[in-house]
Structure 1
Amino acid sequence: MRQMLTAAAIATFPLLQPMIANADDAIKQAVEARHGYYAMLSMNMSTLAGMAKGDVAYDEAAASRAAANIEALTHYDLPGLFVEGSASGQVEGSAAKAEIWTDMDDFKAKFAGLVEAAAGAAEAVKGGQDQVGPVVGKLGAACKACHDSYREKS
């Protein structure tokens, strides 16, 4: 009986390898998707921050578009990309602290803070350069709240 179980285990191991590899791939894909999400967020925040600082000439259409893009990004289920096994030290390229998975409710609440900060931002940045700073401040504070708790310092 023991020999049959050993033989069955040996025979099925090659069949399990793709499933194990797929789990690793799913984790890597989640981390890559997070990186893509944050790259888009950063690109649009940079546009707004540049205008708020006066480093970039105020352009109402560009400011509104960048703010609308950020608002659109907040409609994506970012917390859903934080899958088990994708913390810093568990997978290459992740800066996510393990605390995310021990306090997922707080992590989601911090993301909800970003959603709230982004709501109406496309309209709020209209009317002149002085309108952009307060929006950047709200968005930046929401980002910082999450980073302070849940992102490894680089």
Structure 2
Amino acid sequence: MRLLSAAALAFTVTLPMTTHADEALDELLEARHGFYQMLAMNMGTLAGMAKGETPYDEATASRAAANIEALTHYDLPSLFVEGTASGQIKDSAAKPEIWTNMDDFKTKFGGLVEAAAGASEAVKGGQDKVGPVVGKLGGACKACHDVYREKS
């Protein structure tokens, strides 16, 4: 009976810690998703202009590119913590390879930072200026997604 009581007590003590840890991981994943939603929204604005699907507007293009530049100053890799890979937490597309190749993952994010640098100025001057910027940004995204993101 004592053993059963001790086991029940241990379970009750660890349950709140597990729940708290799960909530923290959920919050990290939510923040990660928010980052990518903002990135996608601004990339969509630029891509629409580059393809001619939406009229070129210099102020809008520059603002979208500036938003992407600002996003790359956030330490996104810090949101990739153990326990948030695909299969470990609901709604994650992060491959487990991120955690075995964290230096490469950070390097690939650095590629996005580099591609975004100066983008807000580079999109000025006409629709023909937007495509090359979108190409650089998209290439940086693809380089990471090809290796570290599950196919949807």
Query: What is the TM-score normalised by the length of structure 2?
Result: 0.94
Match of 1:110 in 2: 108
Q: 1:142 aligns with which of 140, 144, 148?
A: 140
Corresponding residue SS for 1:96 = coil
Note the residue ranges of structure 1 that are not aligned, 5 or more in a row. Answer: none
- Cα RMSD (Å): 1.5
What residue in structure 2 maps to residue 125 of structure 1? 123
**1:92-135 CA deviation, whole Å, 9 max, x = no partner?**
10000000000000000000000000011001101111110110
Q: What is the CA-CA distance between 1:16 and the residue it aligns to?
A: 2.3
Following TM superposition, by how much is the alpha carbon of 1:7 offset from its aligned partner in structure 2, in angstroms? 4.3
Secondary structure, in 3 states, of the residue corresponding to 1:13? helix
Partners of 1:18 and 1:76 in 2: CA distance:
31
How many residues align? The count is 152
Counterparts of 1:48 and 1:25 in 2: how far apart (Å)? 35
Aligned-pair identity (%): 74
Q: Which residue of 1 aligns with 2:33?
A: 35
Task: Return the alpha-carbon distance in structure 2 between the equivalents of residues 12 and 153 of structure 1.
Answer: 40
How far did residue 33 of structure 1 move?
1.2
Moved more, 69-78 or 24-33: 24-33
1:49 is the counterpart of 2:47: yes
Q: Aligned partners of 1:89, 1:9: CA distance in 2, in Å?
A: 29
Query: Residue 60 of structure 2 corresponds to which residue in structure 1?
Result: 62
Runs of 5+ consecutive residues of structure 2 not aligned to the other structure: none
